[in-house]
Amino acid sequence: MVDAAARRAFVACSRSNAVVAVDLDRRRTEWRSPVGREPIPVVLDLPARRLFTADARSDTVTVVDADSGTRLAQVPVGAYPAGLGHHPGLRRVFSGDTAAGTVTALDADHARVIGTVPAELGAGSIAVDTSRDRAYCANFMSASVTVFDAATLRPLGRIAVPEGPCKVVVDPVSDRLYVAGSLHGTITRFCLRTGANLGELVVERAPVGMCVSPDGRWLYVCNRGAGTVSVLDTFRGTESHRITVGDGPGDCALDPVTGRLLVSNAGSGTLTIVDRPWLPGPPARAFHPVVGHPLPEFALPDLRTGRIRTTREWAEKKYVINFFASW
């Protein structure tokens, strides 16, 4: 999550139970705020200058001052909240409660629960179409997306999607909804106006995070299982290129000032910053064709004893073989 004016990025660190503020210009940590256990997403409410985190293992949403990092409140929600949505105009934050199969609506100004929306098992990521006051909640275990009215909290329908929907993103420019299917490595596209399915795009393993460029041209997809970001050209409906990032990339955001892509890497505990992410980088280093394959069996004499040594002696062990000329 990026605060462009303050030149900060906010990262939810699920393994450290904290939110970290990063100075984007100096590229260093400004402050670290403890929240609930296993914070997964974070959203920024600019009008109140507050951060909201969904603390999955605490069944809470924590509210933090975006400028100082001071914890302001902790609000109980449904079981295992793993996703957040935000409608700044309605002054609401929505929590996708995975184990409860519900969406909890919170008043962003008063940090209190104002209602609950029935969803389905695995409710998590939430995207909001602010022009129509509609919200979309991905239900990971139910292969569906729940649609509801963000103002009245009335359920509006259900969209069937491929198994394991992990992230939903609304693009107001192209009027599309993007759904990342983590189990099949696909991105499904829907028209927001008509609800029509516009087809799927294939990415790498376990896509779990996404963001879209301000002009709607580029969709960036975090492939957690591959350590890459797929860059999709939404105009052509193809993958343009892939960017290698850290281990286990979980989500991403764009800095609207510089256009740089920020990727939070859960596996390596790092933040990758990519300049001009819409352009392909240098070609990846080519690996020898045997890299990644089992070591062929062979036997060689021991120079000290003359005994024949084989690779089977070190099966399932790590070792270094140094081949050199003996002349």
Which residues neighbour 326 within 8 Å (Cβ) at sequence distance 6 or greater?
303
> Beta 176-181 vs 50-55: how paired, if at all?
unpaired
Integer angstrom CA distances of residue 110 from 72, 97, 219, 284: 11, 20, 34, 50
Tokens of 79: 């079981």
| Per-residue pLDDT at 302 | 81
Largest CA distance in the chain: 84
pTM listed for this prediction: 0.85
Specify the 3-state DSSP secondary structure of 313: helix
Which residues neighbour 112 within 8 Å (Cβ) at sequence distance 6 or greater?
75, 106
84, 78 Cβ separation under 8 angstroms: no
Mind listing the domains of the chain with CATH numbers?
A: 2-274 (2.130.10.10)
| Per-residue pLDDT at 324 | 59
250, 209 Cβ separation under 8 angstroms: yes
Tokens of 2: 């990026």
**Which neighbouring-strand residues pair with 126?**
137
Specify the 3-state DSSP secondary structure of 284: coil
| Per-residue pLDDT at 283 | 64
Q: What distance in Å separates the CA atoms of residue 237 and residue 143, rounded to the nearest whole number?
A: 23
Per-residue pLDDT of the chain in tens (327 residues, 90 and over written 9): 899 999 999 999 999 999 999 999 999 999 999 999 999 999 999 999 999 999 999 999 999 999 999 999 999 999 999 999 999 999 999 999 999 999 999 999 999 999 999 999 999 999 999 999 999 999 999 999 999 999 999 999 999 999 999 999 999 999 999 999 999 999 999 999 999 999 999 999 999 999 999 999 999 999 999 999 999 999 999 999 999 999 999 999 999 999 999 999 998 999 999 999 999 976 656 666 666 677 777 788 887 888 888 877 776 666 666 665 544
129, 172 Cβ separation under 8 angstroms: yes
| Per-residue pLDDT at 327 | 43
User: Closest Cα partner for 182 from 239, 242, 249, 121?
Assistant: 249
| Per-residue pLDDT at 229 | 97
| Per-residue pLDDT at 237 | 93
